[in-house]
Homo-oligomer: A and B are copies of this chain.
Amino acid sequence: MLVVMQAHASQADIGGVCGKIEALGFRPHIIPGAQRTAIGITGNPGAIDPCEFVDLAGVAEAIRVSKPYKLVSREVKPDNTVVEVAGVPVGGADLVLIAGPCSVESREQILASARAVKDAGAQLLRGGAYKPRTSPYAFQGLHEEGLQYLAEARAETGLGVVTEVIDVETFELVERYADCVQIGARNMQNFSLLRRAGRSRLPVLLKRGISSTLEEFLMAAEYILSEGNYNVILCERGVRTFADHTRNTLDLSVVPAVQSLSHLPIIADPSHGTGRRDKVHPMALASVAAGASGLMVEVHPTPDRALSDGFQSLYPDQFRALAADCRAVSELLSRRRG
């Protein structure tokens, strides 16, 4: 159910509708729009009668939402959401580049990476301090030490920090250092983690699970929004198929598909999406052409010595070339859409 307010509705009108929703035992979500405010309702086990709302002051209409997701739906909020990460708008006119190593390996490595990606044109720094690894015996990250190095890299370069959070226990610690918390593909349906992210003050970058349908992806985002955090960036990072020429199959059609169903911004990760260094540049270009609002790219000062995923990490010079080409395509398409 979505209660759409009249254009001239007052704060008091909005408060009245929210009060009514709460009195019914449900939860109101205020969704400001360019034209008018809408109020989503969650927590209702079944359908609600629109008549409960249509006579309240300032209400234009009460409409049933036809999708299983509500708050992420473009039906509910027609305007694009722009998520600010450390002052960088994601989902706006400009292409956003998030770059850095797979893992934070040392103070020197992350500082060198941050300088290199900033110099090459990145606006945000990525790097994992908590790494979900298939093997319990593989390098699991530097944990808080890694977060401190990321903060140092931010202090020096001014780049906002995007870093992965892997469980509820360490969430608060990550929140203390990050500008945006990333939820990885393996945790896309870790619902306890999603709920915790929904109670964070930070924006959340949510990666699509390796065999997630579009609906499951949007429902995972809905978990976060349903707890009150509307700052969610979606990220396509490849799905698992029979194809063996890349590590994953980057499913770029999900970019326009998300954009037609949801107001949330979507970016692409051509590094995990291909798993091969020489495929990152062409697939980054393809992502931008398909309409992605940004890219997340693995860059390492010395990929051959990386502790994880070095074979898919770009050299800084390769990233510089990628950034320039991608911005050129982005700008061309902006002008043409213009």
A-side interface residues toward B, CB under 8 Å? 42-45, 68-70, 132-137, 139, 166-169, 186-187, 189-193, 195, 210-211, 213-216, 219, 222-223, 226, 239-246, 249-257, 260, 273-274, 278-279, 282-283, 285-291, 324-325, 328-329, 332-333, 336
Contacts and interface: CB of A to CB of B under 8 A. Distances in A.
Contacts of A329: 289, 329, 332-333
Contacts of A239: 241-243, 249
A137 B252 CA distance: 29
A213 B192 CA distance: 25
Contact of A169 (B133, B168, B288): B168
Nearest to A274: B253
A95 to B, nearest CB: 13
Nearest to A326: B289
Contacts of A279: 253, 256-257
Contact of A134 (B219, B240, B290): B219
Contacts of A167: 168, 190, 192-193
A255 B43 CA distance: 41
Contacts of A215: 134
8 contacts: A45-B137, A134-B189, A168-B169, A190-B190, A239-B243, A243-B253, A245-B253, A283-B290
A43 B279 CA distance: 34
A286 B252 contact: yes
A216 B134 CA distance: 6
B252 A243 contact: no
> Which of A191, A239, A254, A286 gathers the greatest number of chain B CB atoms within 10 Å?
A286
Copies in the complex: 4
B254 A252 contact: no
Contacts of A243: 213-214, 239, 251, 253-254
Contacts of A242: 211, 213, 239-242
A246 B257 contact: yes
A252 B255 contact: no
A133 to B, nearest CB: 7
B226 A211 contact: no
> Which of A186, A242, A257 gathers the greatest number of chain B CB atoms within 10 Å?
A242
A171 to B, nearest CB: 11
Contacts of A256: 278-279, 282-283
Contacts of A195: 136
B245 A283 contact: no
A137 B222 CA distance: 9
A145 to B, nearest CB: 17
Nearest to A195: B136
Contact of A257 (B133, B245, B286): B245
Nearest to A243: B251
Q: Closest 3 A-B residue pairs measured CB to CB?
A: A211-B211, A289-B289, A167-B192
Nearest to A170: B192
Nearest to A213: B244
A181 to B, nearest CB: 15
B222 A136 contact: yes
A307 B334 CA distance: 36
A300 B111 CA distance: 55
Contacts of A241: 239, 241-242, 249, 251
